[in-house]
Every structure is written in C-alpha cells, then in structure tokens.
C-alpha cells in the first residue's frame, strides 16, 4: 500500500494545465541556469545546501502543513537516512556494493522510510501537542543512542567518506562541486514533483481532512491514525533522500545530523516560508540557508536574528512569507497598491532604522562578551565601533529607541491602511459574487 | 545498602528539582493549553539572574529576587507575546515559545558569554549534611529537597485553600463560566504563566549551582521535563510528581551501575566475544544507556498506557 503511494501512481491532472506546466518548466530552467549566473564556489555551496534543505523542508511540510502534525524530531529520518547513505557510499568505494553514486540518495530514502515505519508506529498514535512532545523525546533518544554506538555512528567525529568512487560515467565523477549541485538539483526537482503529486493523491487529500477535522474524517470511515502513519512514512522517505544528498554533498555525517537543532531548523524553514502553501517551504529553505550559511559568515549572532525573525513571523504573519507574497499580489490585482505605498515606505524606512539600532547593540555586546581578547573595537557596516566607549553605546541605543518609537507609529498607520484595503477587496469580492 | 540509600537520596533530590520544573509546565499546560517550550529557558534565566544577583548582594536575597524577576518576565511574555498569537490556536502558541527559547539562549550568550559562569553554592550550605556509612550526603542537596518540598506544599495550599487558587482551578475546566462570574480570565492566565515561570526560575536558582550554569543547561533539562509531563499524564500534577521522582531515581541508579550485557550473559552461562552478533549492544553498560532510559520509558508508556500514569485524557 505504501509503495504505491511513494512511487506516485499517475495522478489524474486536468486535461492540460498550462499554468502548471509553465511553473514546473520555469522551475526546471531556474535549477539549470542559476549556477551559470552565480558562479563562485561559495554560491554553488549555498545553492547545493538550498536544494538539500528544500527536499527536507517539503518532506517536513507533508506532515506539518498538510497533515497537521507538528514534529520536533524530523531530523531523525533524514539523519538516519544520511548515515545509511554514507555507509553505502563507503561500500561502493570498497567495491562491495555495485551501485552508482547518483542513486545513493535512494538508499537514504529507503532507510528513512524504514525508520518511519518503526518510529511512526509509536508517534502517530497521538496527534496535536502530545505528538509534538513524543517526537521531541524520540529525537533525543535517537541522538543519545547515536553517541552510544560509535561503530555505526562514528561517535563525536562522525563517519566520513569519499564521493569520487568508481569510473566516471559520461565524465561525471562528482569531484567538482558543480556536478554535485546538478545531482542535487535533479533529485530536488524530481522530489518536488513527487511530493506535489502526493499532495493530490487520495491519501494526500485525506491527510488534509485529518488535519482540519479529524472527527469528521473518522465518521467518514477513515482511520485517522492510519492516515497519519502512512503520510509520515512517505514523508520520512523524502527526508531520507535529503539526508542521502547531504551525505554526498558534505562527505561526512555526524550525530549532529539527527540532533534537535536540525529538527528545529527544518521547522523554522517550513514555517517561515509558509506551511499552508506547497511552495512555502521552498522559499523558507532559501531564506534559512541565507541566514545559516551566508549570514553566519558575517556575524556570530545569526541565530539571534533568525529567532527574532521567526517570532515576528509567528506573531504577525502566521502564513509565512508565501502568504505575504500572495496577499500583496491580491492587493496589486485589485489596483489598490497606491493606497499602501506611503505606509510601506514609512514602515520600511523606520524599520530600517530600528534594525540598524538592534544590530549595533547586539554586535557590540556580542563582541564584548565573546571576543574580548581581540579588543573592544569592532567594525560594523564599515564603521569602527568601540564597545568600551560609552559614547558609542549612547549612539546605538539612541538609534534603537528612536527607531522603535517611530516604527511603532508607522506600524499602526500601516495596520490601519492595510485593514482598510483588505476590507475594500472583501467588499469587491462579495459584489462580484452577487453580480 | 550504602549505595542504595545514597543513590535513592540523590535520585529523590534530582526528581524534586525536575518536579519544580514540571509542575510549572503542567500548570501552564492544563490552564492555557499551551505547551511552554521555553520553560527550560526560564529555568536557565533563573540560574543566570541568581548568579548575577548573588555577586551583588549574596545568595539569600537572590533566592527570592531571581524567581520574582523571572515571573515578571513571564508575565510580560504572556501579555505582549502569547496573548497576541492566542487567537490563531495552540500550534502558533507552541511555535512562539519555541522561537522564544531560541532567542533566550542567544540573549544569555550575548550578556554572559558562551562559557559557564562561576555560580557557586553559598558557604553556609557547603559541606556534608550527614554521613551514611562512608559516603557523605552534601548539605546543599538537602537544602534543594527542602525548598522543593516547601514549594510543593505552598502550591498545594494555594490551589486548594485560597480564593485565587479556586479561581484558577475553575478556569481550568470552565473558563466561560468563570468569566461570566466576573473574573478576569486573561489576567488569571497571565498570573498562571507568571507563576509557572517563577517556579522554573526558582528551580534555576537552586539547580544552577548544584549543576553547571551554562547556555546549554536549558537544552539538557528541557526534553527531560517534557518526558516527565507525558509519562505522568498531560495536565496531571500528581502524575508529574510521581514521574519526576521515578525518572530522577532511575537516572541516578542507572548512572552508578556498571553492569553490561556481557556480564549478564556470563551470569546466565554464555560467553560473548567480539564475534557474537550484535556485540556492540552487549558491550553497553547500564550507565552508558542511562541518557536514553527516560525516552525509552516514554515510548513504553505510550505503547502500554497512552494517557500516562495518572492522566485522565488521551491525545
């Protein structure tokens, strides 16, 4: 039963959905072209990690956004998949396993699904908050256990491997990073299509019903526990694929791959992007990698900024970045954007001042506590700030407070105008329906 | 015998500390339906506040001031954060506290740095309380137990004997009726959240110097207290009490036992060599398995008694 779901039995689309073909076609072109635009080694690293996280975040969203199961232990499946994938890679290198490197992610996927079968049986007995706590506990258990078996998990150092094994196939040896990027891109694209198709299968649809109204779904004759279980197994399969891709990309897998940090990260990525939309986690993954890989090059406080960004999203935009985009598109569609132009300018400018204030204060204090040996001076935005000099602190807090006050005023103005515009749109919608 | 008694005492004192955390978490959960993910972070803040205050005015004032400050912080978080996301349901509330735990860890590192701070047991409480056979039991452990038991009694008296306690109990089950009777339910929620976080802060004050005050202390204890609340039964204070003691005692016994699968096999007459299948499993001693035990207990409880030891509701 599960295999038929995972391989994605041909889904009956509408006769010819031009828009859908166009979107997927453009996605494929984007995957192919983007490394030709951003050519630097760092950009390729970023893109590869984005591809891996996109698969992981979409698989997470199968249970979170579409199935309504908030999990704090999804890294278990990707991490265990990654461990089996890297062992498989080592066996390929030793010549004991005749498998092309390109298919290694499939090993990760299969073992991810296997652990989905084992762990999912326990976790999906519950839903809601207890499910969240159980997945957290299970994640901790796997993490603790992974340090107990150094033979398989490699202890603190992890398991490392070499992906350049076997004879090059059509000149593809996976030595250069760009070849690995294209491997990831192909797997990412195929997984995206498969997961999108899954969301349109009867099982995918029923999982939405179980999310929204489990009681009603039970009355219709569906076993909600079984639905959750099957969806979790499918999701664990794709998580395992992302783990396999990570194993090939980094050539090392450590206990950190199954840790709560990883599980929390994928939750952040999916939520920031927008869990209620299929493409939300894709946006979220791009943003998350920009924070975790690009911003961390600049500042040690990137987790602070990410945490604040996440909390702000939870408080003001629970639909994620995807919902923000769609709402603004709707405003543009009804040609009401002119009314929002001034509020937008105001909010963005005062928000910018506030952000500069926050960054100054955070960076100066971080530099003082963590990097004291290097002296009290630090360079922010090209200016040299001296954390030992009170004048700089007065300036930083001055910017912070004036930014906060003006931003709050602008935010209220914006909220008022935004509400008025949304009301107009609702009004027009109602009139259209009647007419 | 000596080993047994000392392990039992250590386990009970650790279990009582767990209960101080789990009781606040359970109160908040059963009252507001919010699983406070940042609960262990408030524990950490309690420890850091106590460290900072004790460097200025000493340990004893810190014992009172730090939990109050943490409780005040909790009230602010409830009023300006949780209440805003309340209208979107429980998952955004949970996610809010999850994000908060991220921020708190970073803030603590910004203010106090990444290394552990030297938060120490006050001089009056150093030294042994009594000596059992040859092992001495530290005074501070006794003090921890005393504080925990006093707190337990205080909560129980407050919940059952005072007016505010009765209102809290009533709001647990019938918030609409309580509101109709003229009580300010959002304020009761805020007070509960503040109270729960203050309890976590108190646990931090007395746990921070018994263990280590460092930025990872929240993550170390965080998942254990979730296990405690699930094993005890979601929303059951009595269950949380039993589960904390159970896990505390289990942990302290397991850490001290050096009995492995190899020895077990020898005792029943097998010899295990590296060639035996699953050798790495046999090799593990009980003390090595100790970190996993609470989670194993969690899984077993879920399979055999899904509503927890003392729970009344399922799912």
The pLDDT tens digits of the residues spanning B254-265 come to: 877 777 767 777
- Lowest mean per-residue pLDDT among B95-99, B243-247, B256-260: B256-260
- Lowest mean per-residue pLDDT among A38-47, A99-108, A375-384, B209-218: A375-384
Q: What's the confidence (pLDDT) of residue A272?
A: 93
* CATH code, domain carrying B239: 1.10.3470
Q: What is the pLDDT of residues B134-178, one digit of tens each?
A: 777 888 888 888 998 998 888 888 888 888 888 887 876 777 888
8 Å CB contact between A51 and A185: yes
Q: Which parts of chain B are beta strand (E)?
A: 128-132, 135-138
Is B309 part of any domain? no
Mean pLDDT of A148-157: 83
Q: Considering CB atoms only, which of A126, A268, A301 is closest to B315? A: A126
CA distances from A284 to A306, B177, B179 (A): 12, 42, 40
Q: Considering CB atoms only, which of A130, A137, A311 is closest to B103? A: A311
| Number of H-type helices and E-type strands within chain B | 15, 2
Q: What's the confidence (pLDDT) of residue B251?
A: 86
pTM of the model: 0.87
Q: What's the confidence (pLDDT) of residue B257?
A: 74
Residue A205 has pLDDT above 50, yes or no: yes
The percent of residues above 70 in pLDDT, for chain B, comes to 93
Is B313 part of any domain? no
Q: Which parts of A144-275 are beta strand (E)?
A: 159-160, 252-253
* Mean pLDDT estimate for chain B: 84
Q: Considering CB atoms only, which of A130, A144, A366 is closest to B291? A: A144
Q: What is the pLDDT of residues B42-90, one digit of tens each?
A: 999 999 999 999 999 888 898 999 999 999 999 999 998 888 888 887 8
Q: Which residues of A touch B261 (CB under 8 A)?
A: none
Residue A369 has pLDDT above 50, yes or no: yes
Q: What's the confidence (pLDDT) of residue A371?
A: 66
Q: What is the pLDDT of residues A335-366, one digit of tens each?
A: 888 888 888 898 899 999 999 888 888 888 88
- Residue A170: CB atoms within 10 A of its CB come to 5
Domain count, chain B: 1
Interchain proximity B102–A301, CB inside 8 Å: no
Q: What's the confidence (pLDDT) of residue B314?
A: 46
- CA dihedral (A94, A98, A100, A105) positive or negative: negative
8 Å CB contact between A356 and A399: yes
Q: What's the confidence (pLDDT) of residue B315?
A: 41
Is B127 part of any domain? yes
**pLDDT grade, residue A376 (50/70/90)?**
low
* Interatomic CA distance for residues A118 and A120, integer angstroms: 6
B138 - beta bridge partners?
A: B128
Residue A85 has pLDDT above 90, yes or no: yes
Is B170 part of any domain? yes
Is B113 part of any domain? yes
Q: What's the confidence (pLDDT) of residue A2?
A: 41
Burial class (CB in 10 A: 0-12, 13-18, 19+), A147: middle
**Residue appearing with tokens 């109990």:** B169
Is B294 part of any domain? yes
Q: What is the pLDDT of residues A171-186, one digit of tens each?
A: 677 878 888 999 999 9
Provide Rg for chain A, Cα atoms: 24
Is B7 part of any domain? yes
Whether residue A339 lies within 8 A of chain B, CB to CB, comes out as no
Residue A16 has pLDDT above 80, yes or no: no
Q: Which two tokens stand for residue B82?
A: 């949780």
Residue A5 has pLDDT above 50, yes or no: no
Q: Which residues of A touch B231 (CB under 8 A)?
A: none
* Interatomic CA distance for residues A404 and A351, integer angstroms: 8
- Lowest mean per-residue pLDDT among A38-42, B21-25, B310-314: B310-314
In chain B, the residue whose alpha carbon lies closest to the alpha carbon of A301 is B106
CA angle A410, A414, A416 (to 5 degrees): 120
- Could you list the residue range(s) of the whole structural domain that residue B18 is in? 2-304
Question: What is the least distance, in Å, from the CA of A17 to any CA of chain B?
Answer: 34
Which is nearest to A174 in space by CA: A249, A236, A229?
A249
* Interatomic CA distance for residues A254 and A134, integer angstroms: 23
């Amino acid at each position: 039963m599960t295999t038929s779901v995972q391989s994605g039995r041909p889904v009956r689309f509408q006769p010819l959905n031009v828009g859908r073909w166009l979107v997927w076609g453009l996605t494929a072109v984007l995957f192919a072209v983007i490394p030709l635009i951003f050519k630097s080694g760092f950009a390729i690293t970023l893109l590869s990690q984005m591809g891996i996280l996109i698969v992981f975040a979409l698989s997470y969203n199968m249970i979170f956004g579409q199935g309504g199961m908030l999990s704090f232990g999804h890294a278990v499946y990707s991490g265990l998949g990654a461990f089996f994938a890297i062992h498989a890679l080592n066996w390929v290198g030793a010549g004991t396993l005749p498998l092309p490197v390109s298919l290694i992610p499939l090993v990760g996927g299969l073992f991810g699904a296997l652990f989905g079968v084992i762990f999912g049986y326990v976790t999906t007995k519950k839903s809601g908050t207890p499910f969240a706590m159980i997945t957290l506990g299970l994640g901790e258990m796997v993490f603790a256990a992974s340090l107990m078996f150094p033979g398989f998990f490699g202890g603190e150092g992890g398991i490392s491997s070499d992906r350049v094994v076997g004879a090059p196939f059509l000149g593809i040896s996976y030595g250069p990073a760009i070849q690995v990027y294209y491997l990831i891109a192909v797997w990412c694209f195929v997984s995206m299509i498969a997961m999108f198709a899954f969301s349109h299968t009867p099982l995918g649809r029923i999982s939405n019903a179980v999310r929204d109204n489990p009681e009603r779904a039970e009355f219709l004759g569906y076993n909600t526990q079984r639905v959750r279980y099957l969806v979790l197994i499918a999701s664990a399969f794709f998580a395992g694929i992302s783990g396999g891709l990570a194993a090939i990309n980094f050539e090392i897998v450590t206990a950190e791959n199954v840790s709560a940090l990883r599980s929390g990260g994928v939750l952040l990525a999916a939520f920031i992007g927008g869990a209620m939309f299929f493409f939300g986690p894709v946006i979220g993954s791009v943003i998350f990698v920009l924070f975790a890989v690009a911003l961390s090059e600049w500042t040690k406080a990137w987790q602070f900024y990410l945490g604040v960004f996440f909390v702000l999203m939870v408080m003001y935009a629970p639909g994620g970045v995807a919902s923000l985009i769609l709402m603004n598109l709707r405003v543009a569609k009804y040609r009401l954007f002119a009314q929002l132009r001034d509020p937008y300018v105001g909010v963005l400018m005062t928000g910018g001042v506030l952000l500069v204030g926050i960054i100054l204060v955070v960076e100066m204090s971080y530099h003082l506590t963590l990097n004291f040996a290097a002296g009290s001076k630090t360079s922010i935005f090209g200016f040299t700030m001296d954390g030992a000099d009170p004048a700089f602190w007065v300036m930083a807090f001055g910017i912070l407070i004036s930014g906060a006050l003006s931003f709050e005023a602008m935010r209220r103005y914006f909220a008022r105008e935004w509400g008025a515009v949304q009301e107009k749109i609702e009004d027009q919608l109602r009139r259209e329906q009647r007419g | 015998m000596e080993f047994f008694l000392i392990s039992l005492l250590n386990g009970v004192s650790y279990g009582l500390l767990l209960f101080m955390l789990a009781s606040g978490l359970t109160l908040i959960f059963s009252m507001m339906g919010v699983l406070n993910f940042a609960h262990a972070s408030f524990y950490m803040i309690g420890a850091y506040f106590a460290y900072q205050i004790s460097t200025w005015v000493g340990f004893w004032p810190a014992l009172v001031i730090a939990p109050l400050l943490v409780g005040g912080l909790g009230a602010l978080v409830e009023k300006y954060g949780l209440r805003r996301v309340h209208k979107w349901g429980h998952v955004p509330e949970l996610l809010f506290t999850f994000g908060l735990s991220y921020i708190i860890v970073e803030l603590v590192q910004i203010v106090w740095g990444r290394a552990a701070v030297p938060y120490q047991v006050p001089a009056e409480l150093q030294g042994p309380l009594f000596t059992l056979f040859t092992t001495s039991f530290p005074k501070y452990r006794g003090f921890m137990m005393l504080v925990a038991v006093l707190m337990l009694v205080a909560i129980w008296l407050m919940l059952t004997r005072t007016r505010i306690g009765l209102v809290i109990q009533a709001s647990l089950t019938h918030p609409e009726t309580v509101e109709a009777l003229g009580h300010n339910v959002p304020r009761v929620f805020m007070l509960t959240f503040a109270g729960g976080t203050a309890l976590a802060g108190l646990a931090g004050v007395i746990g921070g110097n018994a263990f280590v005050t460092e930025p990872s202390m929240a993550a170390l204890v965080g998942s254990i207290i979730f296990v405690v609340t699930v094993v005890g039964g979601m929303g059951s204070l009595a269950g949380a009490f039993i589960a904390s003691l159970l896990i505390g005692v289990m942990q302290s016994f397991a850490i001290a036992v050096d009995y492995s699968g190899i020895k077990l096999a020898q005792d029943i007459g097998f010899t295990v060599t590296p060639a035996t299948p699953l050798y790495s499993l046999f090799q593990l001693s009980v003390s090595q398995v100790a970190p996993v035990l609470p989670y194993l207990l969690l899984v077993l409880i879920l399979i055999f008694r899904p509503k927890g030891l003392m729970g009344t509701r399922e799912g």
